[in-house]
Structures are given as C-alpha cells and as structure tokens.
Structure 1
Amino acid sequence: MMVPFSAVVMWTFGEKIGNGWKKILWQSGKIAFIFSVSIEMLQLLLRLGTFQLSDIFYNTVGGMIGGLMYCAVMKVRKRL
C-alpha cells in the first residue's frame, strides 16, 4: 500500500523536496512513517483491527521503496 502512495506523494511534491536520492529517501520514509502511525493509532482508538509495530515498520520500508522507485523513474526520464 505504501509503495504507490509514497511514489505518488513524491511525484506530487517532488519539486519542493529536491532531486537527491538521500533527500527523497528520507522524506518518503518520514511521510510513510507518519501516515502509518496515524493509521495504527486510529485502529487502536476506534478498535478497528489491531495495533502492530510490525505494520509501522513494513509500511515505512514500503514507503522508502516507493521513494526510491520514484527517484529511479525520474533519472530514467531525464535520460530520454
């Protein structure tokens, strides 16, 4: 879920974030982490599903992968 989410967020706000892959990786991980914690807290408070720390970790990693995919696509796009 977080791979396409973070790729779309990076595509939308890419100009504000910058071009370096480290910046993109950091920002996509941060956005995915905040969004994932929000989802897990809502699950805990509304008693819908279960709160799991592993979900936060895997969603954050997925968000970082999405950011790296965005970075790779933009580099290939510049070469064409």
Structure 2
Amino acid sequence: MAGDLKDKLSTIKQRQTTWEQVNQEQLLQSMLAHIGSTDSELRDTYIYSGFYEWILEKNLLDIVIGQTSGITA
C-alpha cells in the first residue's frame, strides 16, 4: 500500500498526473495514514511536500481539513 502511494505521489510530483485526475479523498486518506512512515522519501519528499503544495499553492485547505475532521488526539 505504501508503495502504491509513493508511486501515485511520484507521478503527481513529476507532473505525469495532476491532482485533479486522481481520487483526491482516497489519496489524502492514504497520505494521512502514512504520514508517520519510517520511509523518509515517502514521508518527506512526497507526503509533506504534497501537503505543502496542495494547501498553500492550490488552496486546498478545505479538502484537507475535511479529511482530518474525524481524527482525534
């Protein structure tokens, strides 16, 4: 599963696929599930930078907040 996520995020980062072409809800859920991954490339290169780009550059904060609203501490 982490390998699939890494592949998807890699294709988005390399601009082979766009954010609009993927199931955004499913992708965000998977990113949140793997945000603590010990795979530093997945975590740092793809998940953290993906959140940064989508929240700040594409103004998708509402989508991310909607995905995290069910998470409790």
Higher normalized contact order (CA 8 Å, seq sep 6+, divided by chain length): 1
Determine which structure has more spread, i.e. the larger CA radius of gyration: 1
TM exceeds 0.5? Answer: no
How high is the TM-score relative to the length of structure 1?
0.30
Q: TM-score, normalised by structure 2?
A: 0.32
